Structure 1
Amino acid sequence: MVRAVQQIFIIFVLILLLAALPKIVSVDPMEGGLEWNFGSLHEIYGDFIMEISHGSLGSYQLGRQTRPIAEDIGDNFLTSLQIVLTGVISAVFISLLFGVFISRFRPTKIFGMMFNILAAIPDFIIIVMSMILAVKVYKVTGIRVISLRPDGGALNTWFPTMLVAIAPTLYLFKLVSVKYYQTSGEDYIKTAVAKGMGLSYINFQHVYKNIEPFIKAELVKVISLAIGNLFIIEYIMNVSGITKFVFQSHEVQPIAIGLFAMLLISLIVYVSIRLLFYLFKRGFIYE
């Protein structure tokens, strides 16, 4: 319990410190170096805590308007949560499907080769290339697959969701594929094959049970990959997500609220994935 409180306190301090960087860092015009004004930190922390204690999330600047964060954060939070949650669930599903359950089929090997090629390309390049390809598709076919308008509806969410899922899928698929081939060479798998058990049964009851702990252990990194790409995608695709409070303001309050909201999204996605693993294991895996 004490350790959990310490971790929460450290996270709180670090997030506010990160949000306060535009205020405490400045450029010395004479020497051209950086100046650090740590003396204002106590005021920044005090103002943030005071604002929250009054039941307000503060306000942020939207163009020439000053809007309360509490009125806008709900829809933005749900948009980002939907994108990240759907993207990570898709990454886990695709990785397990092609890495374990249908890995023996020839098309899966072609799929794996394509993923290995994409894994060598930086995420930002993949995102930009995907947007260029979407524009080319629109020019050739007249079919609009993306929208750069904040009110684009489904067109403004499904394509960002796909892009968010790419990096976690590439990482998880490679991990699952390696662990699958390692597990397939174990003695208990050879014994199960020698006893005449079906391949699907072995994949479900033996291989998956030994791969699942590795996926759970890497789940935090998978979510961090999705969150990292979300910052890029929401910015360049003009998605009205939670990163709007980080990018469109230079004030501490909206940046801090945006970062705390991203942390909450990560926690919700992590708990949701663990719950799905639990339900899947209870429904399909024999203990």
Structure 2
Amino acid sequence: MLRIIQQFIIIFLLILSLAALPMIIEVNSAENKLEWNFEQLPKIYGSFISEVSKGSLGSYQLGTQVREIEQDIGDNFLTSLKVMLIGVNASIIISLLFGIFLSRFRLTKIFNFFINILAAIPDFIIIIMSMILAVKIYRWTGIRVISLRPDAGALNTWFPTLLVAIAPTLYLFKLIAVKYFQTSSEDYIKTAVAKGMSLNYINFQHVYKNIEPFITAELVKVISLAIGNLFIIEYILNVSGITKFIFQSNEIQPIAIGLFAMLLISAIVYVSVRLVFYLFKRGFIYE
């Protein structure tokens, strides 16, 4: 319990320190160097805690308007949460399907070839190329694939969800493919094959059970990859997500609230993935 409290305090102070960077860093134009005003940190911590203790999340400036954070954060939070939940869970399902359960089909070889090409391209370039392709599709067919309007509804969320899922899928599929190859060479797999067990049974009851711990151990990295892309995607595609409070303000309060909300989204996505694994094992895996 004490360790959890210590971790919570460290994370709290770290997030506020990140949010306070615009205030504690100054440019000394006379000497052409950066100056760090760490003495401002205690005041920043106290101001944030005082504002929250009053039951208010504070305010932020949107153009010429000053708006209350609690009035807007709900919809923005749900938008980012939906993109992350669907994107990360879809990437895990796709990686498991092609990495284990459909690995023997020719379609998987095509998918693997496509993944190898994308893995050599930086995520930012993939996002830009995807936007260009979406514009080309609209010119060729008249079908609108994306919309840069924040009020476009599903048209403004499904494409960002697709882009968020790319990086986790690239990472997970390669990991699962390697672990599948290593596990398939184990003696207990060879014994199961020699006994005439079906390939589906072996994949479910032996291969998956031994690969799942590796996926669980890499979940934090998978979610961090998705979060990193979410920052880029919401900014470029003008999605009204939680990163709006981080990018459109240089004040501590909205930036800190946005970072805390992003941390909460990561925790919810992590729990959702673990829940999917638990339900899958309860329904298909014999313990």
Normalised by the size of structure 2, how large is the TM-score? 0.99
Query: How far did residue 263 of structure 1 move?
Result: 0.1
2:122 aligned residue: 122
Provide Cα deviations, 1:174-197, integer angstroms capped at 9, x if missing partner.
000000010000000000000000
The question of 1:67 aligning with 2:67 is answered: yes
1:4 aligned residue: 4
2:32 aligned residue: 32
Aligned length: 287
1:281 aligned residue: 281
Provide Cα deviations, 1:117-156, integer angstroms capped at 9, x if missing partner.
1011000000000000000000111000000000011110
Counterpart code for 2:232: I
The question of 1:181 aligning with 2:184 is answered: no
Q: Distance in 2 between matches of 1:32 and 1:221?
A: 37
- Partner secondary structure for residue 34 of structure 1: strand
Q: Distance in 1 between matches of 2:80 and 2:231?
A: 10
Structure 2, unpaired ranges of 5+: none
Q: Distance in 2 between matches of 1:168 and 1:48?
A: 34
Q: Distance in 1 between matches of 2:50 and 2:96?
A: 47
Query: How far did residue 38 of structure 1 move?
Result: 1.2
Alignment of 1:107-256 (within 5 A): 107-256=107-256
The question of 1:93 aligning with 2:93 is answered: yes
Q: Distance in 1 between matches of 2:278 and 2:144?
A: 39
Q: Distance in 2 between matches of 1:269 and 1:156?
A: 21
Q: Distance in 1 between matches of 2:268 and 2:83?
A: 12
Query: How far did residue 32 of structure 1 move?
Result: 1.1
Q: Distance in 2 between matches of 1:226 and 1:38?
A: 31
Provide Cα deviations, 1:196-239, integer angstroms capped at 9, x if missing partner.
00000100000000000000000000000000000000000000
Query: How far did residue 116 of structure 1 move?
Result: 1.0
- Partner secondary structure for residue 278 of structure 1: helix
Counterpart code for 1:149: R
Provide Cα deviations, 1:79-134, integer angstroms capped at 9, x if missing partner.
00000110000100000000000100111111101101101100000000000000
Runs of 4+ in 1 over 6 A off after TM superposition: none
Q: Distance in 2 between matches of 1:40 and 1:8?
A: 22
